[in-house]
Homo-oligomer: A and B are copies of this chain.
Amino acid sequence: MEVFEAIKTRRSIRSYKNIPVEKEKLLKVLEAARLAPSAVNFQPWTFIVVTDPVVKQKLKASYQSDWFTSAPVIIIACAHPNKAWKKFDGEEYWKVDVAIAMQNLILAAWEEGLGTCWIGAFKEDEAKRVLGIPSDVRIVAMTPLGYPAEEKGPVTNRKPLDEIVRYEHW
């Protein structure tokens, strides 16, 4: 699938078929994340792959929607702020780094016919407790991963280009 086509057609999927994700496809989407650029190439990220139904059920403590745990795979994108680049003014870039890698993963998944959904509204402390994530590691986002059980047309609910682009100056 062409890049622009993937960007144009990719939708947030909130209903998944009850079939597993092939190992080679899972490895390919993780590889897409691995290859992402990051500030000073520090790659301050860890991806946790959850497929165990028991662990998925426990993860509901952090995000309670049924469709979330009905996906065959859940991927938790973690950042290591202490190992990430910081700007001279103190600005932190770990959220940017992990978001780049996650978007790579999400677009690569769509090319493989796999749905995802960026999730931010999780209870981080609960997810960290369930997964045994160290206190100095942060969760930036989660996504379910699996074959979509819903069909959606292209994105239509975005601001027009002239509202979000300016030329030469503000």
Chain A residues within 8 Å of B, Cβ to Cβ: 1-4, 6-8, 12, 27-28, 30-37, 39, 41, 43, 45-52, 55, 85, 87-89, 91, 93, 95-96, 98-100, 102-104, 107-108, 110-111, 118, 120-121, 123-124, 130-134, 137, 140-141, 155, 157-159, 161, 164-170
Q: Which residues of B contact A104 (CB under 8 A)?
A: 7, 103, 107
Q: Which residues of B contact A123 (CB under 8 A)?
A: 89
Known contacts A41-B157, A91-B124, A131-B170; A108/B34 CB under 8 A: no
A136 to chain B, nearest CB (A): 12
Please state if A140 and B108 are interface contacts (CB–CB under 8 Å): no
Q: Say what secondary structure dominates the interface of chain A.
A: mixed
Please state if B47 and A166 are interface contacts (CB–CB under 8 Å): yes
Give the CA-CA distance A165 to B26 in the complex, in Å. Answer: 11
Nearest residue, chain B, Cβ from A54: B168
Please state if A111 and B164 are interface contacts (CB–CB under 8 Å): no
A113 to chain B, nearest CB (A): 12
Known contacts A37-B118, A161-B34; A49/B168 CB under 8 A: yes
Please state if B7 and A169 are interface contacts (CB–CB under 8 Å): no
Which of B6, B51, B120 makes the CB contact (< 8 A) with A85?
A: B120
Nearest residue, chain B, Cβ from A105: B7
Q: Which residues of B contact A52 (CB under 8 A)?
A: 168
